[in-house]
Amino acid sequence: MPYVLIIHDVADYLAWKKVFDEAAEIRRNAGETSYQVLADSSDANRIVHFSRWKDLDSARRFFESPELVEIRARAGVKAPDFNYLNELEAGAL
């Protein structure tokens, strides 16, 4: 299963979240199937977006697209760090 882990600082979480929610259909159409949004325990504006994708090629095309660069700028995202991941194992304890 392909995943993308993005860690980025935002200027304001609520402003970022509004733009993030508005882009839900764009993300779904690009191939995102589920997501989690997490905040650093010591900095509410350091956001982790962990998402599952149909395939990593679609995720890369989406996250590297000019449209998304504009969306990130509008959302106040600073220097995102993208990690494209393939699941090796999952479990519950």
The answer as to whether 93 is a domain residue is: no
The answer as to whether 91 is a domain residue is: no
What is the distance between the alpha carbons of residues 27 and 63, in angstroms, rounded to a whole number? 10
What is the distance between the alpha carbons of residues 27 and 92, in angstroms, rounded to a whole number? 28
Which pLDDT score is estimated for 72?
87
Structurally, the chain folds into a number of domains equal to 1
* Band of pLDDT at residue 74, cut at 50, 70 and 90: confident
> Whole domain around residue 14: which residue ranges?
2-86
What is the distance between the alpha carbons of residues 65 and 63, in angstroms, rounded to a whole number? 6
Which pLDDT score is estimated for 38?
97
pLDDT (tens digit, 9 = 90+) per residue, 22-42? Answer: 999 999 999 999 999 999 999
The pTM is what?
0.89
The answer as to whether 44 is a domain residue is: yes
What is the distance between the alpha carbons of residues 21 and 54, in angstroms, rounded to a whole number? 20
The answer as to whether 60 is a domain residue is: yes
Which pLDDT score is estimated for 30?
96
Task: Read off the CATH number of the domain in which 60 is found.
Answer: 3.30.70.100
How are strands ordered across the β-sheet holding 43-53?
Answer: 32-40, 43-53, 2-10, 77-86
The answer as to whether 26 is a domain residue is: yes
* Band of pLDDT at residue 53, cut at 50, 70 and 90: very high
Which pLDDT score is estimated for 70?
87
The answer as to whether 92 is a domain residue is: no
Which pLDDT score is estimated for 14?
93
The answer as to whether 80 is a domain residue is: yes
